[in-house]
Amino acid sequence: MAEQSGSIAVSSGVPIRGLMPGGAIWKHISRFARRKPLGAFGAVIALILIIVAVFAPFIATHDPAATNGALVYAPPGSQLLLGGDQLGRDVFSRLVYGARVSLYAGLLSAFIGASIGMVVGVASVHFGGKTDLIVQRIIDTMMAFPPLILAITIMAALGASLNNVVIALTIAYIPSAARVLRSQALAIKEMDYILAARAIGASHGRIIFRCMIPNCLALYIVLVSVFLGTAIVAEATLSFLGIGVPPDVPSWGGMLNGAAQTYVHLAPWLGVFPGLAIAIVVFAWNLLGDALRDVLDPRLRGTW
């Protein structure tokens, strides 16, 4: 059998012949860039943002924590690229450093939350019966709290730290992800190919991970983009309440949440730039996610 053409070998991944020859990866990437320019654009933005976060000290023009009385509310332009905040700190440099916390917390909690939620939702549907009933009641209970309140409760138990923020947000997203993917999983469970998998003696793990989850990916991608935006802001809220990262560590959500809201009429750039940064992340993921969804869907193979 010839090498699998055109698919990034997600489909089923039969281990015996799923491996891709080394050079093929570049072929796939260049093909992706040609056929899905918007998706590639999204990927490039995401990559740039991650590079910015990693190399923040080299990119920032100022010390993000350095205050300067002369630059309080300095408008964007000559002195400071994106203006100064209420303590005269450089907004640009804070944005650059803020990418570290925001992307870390946002990406991790959105992806992990959606992933665990997907597995929980799908597995619960797969096992059905009492298991499903119990899982659903637990999810109901968790969903009775708004995600932020849930996260705050968890943070209170865990103590303040960036990693704990990620853990708290991840847990907070699991129930809604599980609930949303459940509907999809219920439809998939009724398909005969699930029964066919059982009829050949497939294990539970195989049915969940090979048969059901690949058919949930479209919804998963949408879910991640929803979570991504809210996670970045939620991290800031936790920090603002003093249970996240220390307030002097810059983050986009923190910038948006703090002085920006109070002084927005005086210095709109305090809100505009961090807001824009969050929007760009979500936008980049949407572009990339849309393209990925098409690429991962064998029905669209050949059209991309």
- List residues near another protein by CB under 8 A: 1-2, 4-5, 10-12, 14-17, 133, 190-193, 195-203, 206, 211, 214-215, 297-299, 301, 303
**Shortest Cβ distance from residue 219 to another protein (Å)?**
14
- The answer to whether the beta carbons of residues 249 and 100 sit under 8 Å apart is no
Q: Which is nearer to another protein, 34 or 137 (CB)?
A: 137
The smaller minimum CB distance to another protein, of residues 1 and 70, is found at 1
Q: Are 213 and 122 in contact (CB under 8 A)?
A: yes
Structure token digits, residue 61: 């023009």
Q: Report the candidate in 138, 101, 123, 71 with the shortest Cα–Cα distance to residue 231.
A: 101
Helix (H) or strand (E) holding 228: helix 217-240
In the complex with another protein, the residue whose CB is nearer, 276 or 296, is 296
How far apart are CB 188 and another protein at their closest, in Å?
9
Q: Which is nearer to another protein, 69 or 201 (CB)?
A: 201
Tell me how far, at minimum, the Cβ of 187 lies from another protein, in Å: 10
Kindly compute the dihedral angle of the four CA atoms of residues 141, 145, 146, 151, in this order, to the nearest 10 degrees.
Answer: -100
CB of 148 to another protein, least distance (A): 27
* The pair of three-digit structure tokens given for residue 56, joined into one six-digit string: 């923040």
- Output the smallest distance, CB 136 to another protein, in A: 10
Q: Nearest CA to 238 among 299, 147, 132?
A: 147
In the bound state with another protein, the residue whose beta carbon lies nearer, of 157 and 200, is 200
